[in-house]
């Protein structure tokens, strides 16, 4: 009973610590950074969206371009500072700036009074508006009144979502929110939602690129886009942006940048066949696959070490060690993987002030998650070894440590091999979740290509086939390894 009470109190204590950290996250005020001139020696990390053409997107040379990207690059060149773009998506970009993981963001962000509570904005660089779009050929929906009883999609945290929610009761529709523009187009094409709403330049551009929707009605007068930093930070960067923007407008270069992406003329013909997509994007896909494999290989090696340690502790005769191992496994397995990723990448830096790269955060997330399950695999494997093996070893004078190292673990590992390989495959699939914190792994690479090509089905099929091939190869190799281990054991 004492052991159970100890474990209960320990878990309650951990919960209070997590609640305390959560409170710190919610109430943490922005830490003012030292104001420095924007010079060539200074490099700023700029968070941005992944798929928001014509403002930010990746072209067929795998370079990020668009109105926002070109403006910042040109202003940085004029004012003599460097920028590093971190394309994480609109919602994640907001959180990255708030958590000090990025110095600023530019992602078609509308300037509002509410956002001014958390951000300092530049002078407006684009006057926008929002508009409805329906599936191409839909003649039933001509305005808001025709949306009664239907679902309407918008991107989370955007002016469109705010407008739709404000008027939902008036027109009787239900609002569904999504993370990216790709999600919006996909749910519209499948018929899950009857209409979508987004910034009219974005919808117009994507319709021109081949997305199967058409705009209806007139644009609602929207707000103004601004370049944003966390409140109280980087006044020198805002000043440089404002001065550069004014110079670009005065010289006419600003309008040239707009015309470059908002031109409504026809685009050149591109091969969007299945093999055409592979041919034009195989380098990006291989890079995404390389990121996925590096994440899973490094994290799994670390998880094996940590998992083995806690697995052995969980069968220890020491109650303290056994309790600590059980507590670790319960806590890690009790937190969803995406929540864990956000907590490590955004939560911890917000409290500690320490910056963690998205790659490092991804490795830590996968390692912690897999290690908890590997610990249970080790515990089960050790307990599956007949108790007589331990008794025989102890009767020969072996101590607990030597018995575990020489007798139990070699037999247990043979039992664990299928489960460990299965966990490796699960960790490989789990890498897709890390796209939420901005890691451009294989799935995120596909989403970026979809934003440019508007070929959702074909690109997702290509991504699925790549995963299928990799996992099939791993499964075949695991079976051969398991067979060899069994043969050597019999010999």
Q: How far apart are CA 310 and CA 379, in angstroms?
A: 9
Write the CB contacts of 113 (distance below 8 Å, at least 6 apart in sequence): none
Write the CB contacts of 211 (distance below 8 Å, at least 6 apart in sequence): 185, 454
Q: How far apart are CA 33 and CA 377, in angstroms?
A: 46
Q: So what's the pLDDT on residue 270? A: 63
Q: How far apart are CA 55 and CA 88, in angstroms?
A: 14
| CATH of the domain spanning 127-223, picked from 3.50.50.60, 3.40.50.300, 3.40.190.10, 3.30.1490.190 | 3.40.190.10
Strands in 112-212 per DSSP E: 119-121, 126-135, 151-155, 174-178, 195-199
In the numeric block, which tokens belong to residue 453?
Answer: 């090509």
Q: How far apart are CA 398 and CA 408, in angstroms?
A: 12
Q: So what's the pLDDT on residue 48? A: 92
CB 248 within 8 A of CB 240: no
Q: How far apart are CA 380 and CA 314, in angstroms?
A: 10
Write the CB contacts of 229 (distance below 8 Å, at least 6 apart in sequence): 97, 103, 104, 119, 120, 237, 238
DSSP summary character for residue 29:
P
Distances (CA, A) of 106 to 38, 69, 229, 328, 447: 17, 8, 9, 39, 20
CB 439 within 8 A of CB 294: no
Q: Which bin fits 115, alpha (ψ -120 to 50), beta or left (φ > 0)?
A: alpha
Q: Does domain 34-124+226-262 have CATH number 3.40.50.2300?
A: no
Tens of pLDDT along the chain (491 residues)? 444 444 444 444 454 444 444 444 444 433 333 344 555 568 999 999 877 888 988 887 778 899 999 999 999 999 999 999 988 888 888 988 998 889 999 998 989 999 999 999 999 999 888 999 999 889 999 999 999 999 999 988 888 999 999 999 999 999 999 877 778 888 998 899 999 999 888 888 888 777 788 999 888 887 899 999 999 999 999 999 999 999 999 999 999 999 888 764 445 556 678 888 888 888 989 999 999 999 999 999 999 999 999 998 988 888 899 999 999 999 999 999 999 999 998 888 878 877 788 899 999 999 999 999 999 999 998 888 887 776 677 677 676 667 777 777 778 888 888 889 889 999 999 999 998 887 889 998 888 888 777 787 889 999 999 999 999 988 888 778 777 766 655 55
Q: Does domain 274-490 have CATH number 1.10.3720.10?
A: yes
Q: So what's the pLDDT on residue 210? A: 74
Burial 189-198 (b: 16+ CB within 10 A, else e): beeebbbbbb
Nearest to 85 by CA among 227, 193, 284, 255: 227
CB 151 within 8 A of CB 173: yes
Instruction: Evaluate if pTM is beyond 0.85.
Output: no
CB 477 within 8 A of CB 469: no
Burial 6-19 (b: 16+ CB within 10 A, else e): ebeebbeeeeeeee
CB 51 within 8 A of CB 202: no
- Residue 111's CB is within 10 A of a number of other CB atoms, namely 17
Q: So what's the pLDDT on residue 52? A: 82
Nearest to 429 by CA among 480, 378, 464, 377: 464
Residue with tokens 């004012």: 79
CB 384 within 8 A of CB 414: no
């Amino acid at each position: 009973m004492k052991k159970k009470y100890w474990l209960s109190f320990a878990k309650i204590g951990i919960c209070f610590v997590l609640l305390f950290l959560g409170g710190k996250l919610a109430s943490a005020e922005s830490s003012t950074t030292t104001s420095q001139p924007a010079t060539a020696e200074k490099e700023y990390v700029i968070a941005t969206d992944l798929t928001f053409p014509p403002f930010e997107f990746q072209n067929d040379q795998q370079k990020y371009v668009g109105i926002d990207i070109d403006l910042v690059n040109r202003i940085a060149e004029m004012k003599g500072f460097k920028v590093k773009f971190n394309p994480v998506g609109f919602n994640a970009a907001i959180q990255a700036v708030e958590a000090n993981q990025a110095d600023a963001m530019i992602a078609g962000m509308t300037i509002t009074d509410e956002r001014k509570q958390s951000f300092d904005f530049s002078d407006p660089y684009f006057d926008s508006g929002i508009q409805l779009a329906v599936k191409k050929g839909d003649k039933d929906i001509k305005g808001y009144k025709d949306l009664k009883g239907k679902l309407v999609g918008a991107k989370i945290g955007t002016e469109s979502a705010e407008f739709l929610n404000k008027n939902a009761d008036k027109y009787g529709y239900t609002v569904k929110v999504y993370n990216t523009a790709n999600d919006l187009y996909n749910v519209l094409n499948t018929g899950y939602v009857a209409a979508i709403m987004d910034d009219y330049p974005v919808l117009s551009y994507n319709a021109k690129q081949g997305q199967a929707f058409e705009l209806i009605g007139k644009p609602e007068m929207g707000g103004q886009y601004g370049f944003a930093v966390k409140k109280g930070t980087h006044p020198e960067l805002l000043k440089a942006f404002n001065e550069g923007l004014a110079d670009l407008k005065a010289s006419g270069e600003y309008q040239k940048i707009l015309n470059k992406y908002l031109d409504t003329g026809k685009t050149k013909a591109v091969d969007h066949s299945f093999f055409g997509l592979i041919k034009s994007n195989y380098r990006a896909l291989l890079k995404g696959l390389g990121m996925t494999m590096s994440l899973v290989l490094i994290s799994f090696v670390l998880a094996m070490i940590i998992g083995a340690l806690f697995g052995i502790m969980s069968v220890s005769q020491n109650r303290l060690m056994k309790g600590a191992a059980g507590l670790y496994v319960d806590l890690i397995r009790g937190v969803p993987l995406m929540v864990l990723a956000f907590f490590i990448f955004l939560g911890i830096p917000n409290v500690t002030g320490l910056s963690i790269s998205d790659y490092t955060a991804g490795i830590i997330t996968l390692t912690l998650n897999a290690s908890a399950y590997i610990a249970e695999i080790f515990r089960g494997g050790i307990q599956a070894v007949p108790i007589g093996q331990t008794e025989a070893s102890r009767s020969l004078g072996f101590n607990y440590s030597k018995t575990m190292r020489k007798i139990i673990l070699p037999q247990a590992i043979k039992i664990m091999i299928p489960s460990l390989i299965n966990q490796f495959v699960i960790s490989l699939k789990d890498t897709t979740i890390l796209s939420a914190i901005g890691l451009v792994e294989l799935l995120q690479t596909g989403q970026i290509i979809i934003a440019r090509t508007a070929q959702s089905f074909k690109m997702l099929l290509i991504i699925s086939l790549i995963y299928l091939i990799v996992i099939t190869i791993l499964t075949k190799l695991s079976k051969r390894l398991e067979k060899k281990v069994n043969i050597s054991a019999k010999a």
